[in-house]
Chain A
Amino acid sequence: EAGVTQFPSHSVIEKGQTVTLRCDPISGHDNLYWYRRVMGKEIKFLLHFVKESKQDESGMPNNRFLAERTGGTYSTLKVQPAELEDSGVYFCASTARGLGYNEQFFGPGTRLTVL
């Protein structure tokens, strides 16, 4: 069974540009999460989808970040416009209902560098 995949693995953009990160969860997993680690900091929760609905987006840093999950399958995280402090690694995770929320399956992450 394929794990959580993320694309791209790396992205280097200029300040002010737009970047879209994609996450494909494990097939059948209703719950999808985004996390990020900015330089020197800890991994922080960004938001949680159940199917196509946003359950909690309290961790989203500001309105330059937009997450979508149309159709309840893959998700995208758009940063527009990107700022220097957005550099870091963005992780996506998924889990099935009833599995136990403490066990999430993470993707390898997308390393974003904003110059």
Chain B
Amino acid sequence: LAKTTQPISMDSYEGQEVNITCSHNNIATNDYITWYQQFPSQGPRFIIQGYKTKVTNEVASLFIPADRKSSTLSLPRVSLSDTAVYYCLVGVNDYKLSFGAGTTVTVRA
């Protein structure tokens, strides 16, 4: 599994855009990049997955540069309810999801 590195924590305010960058220098050709979100006292929840360029859904956008050695999860106009831990995972059809420490995002009023 490709090792990932992401910031331990980020602070933001309501209405701002939050961008979390994940480094995965050893990503393999067949690996996908997946992001999960975890609220306190809940299990992780799948947010978005991509292979290259840009993916967008109703929750977030995922930007992946051509070399795929990093990716950025973008949360538009965050609210207090977006306060959570965000995990970047890299793998291919990897039933053994490997969670790192994640990034704790705190949104303030």
Contacts and interface: CB of A to CB of B under 8 A. Distances in A.
Nearest to A59: B96
A46 B49 CA distance: 23
A56 B96 contact: yes
Interface range for B: 20 to 34
Q: Which of B32, B44, B95 has the most CB of A within 10 A?
A: B95
Nearest to B43: A106
Interface residues of A, number: 26
A91 B34 CA distance: 19
A45 B94 CA distance: 11
A102 B93 contact: yes
Contacts of B100: 42
A108 B42 CA distance: 4
A102 B41 contact: no
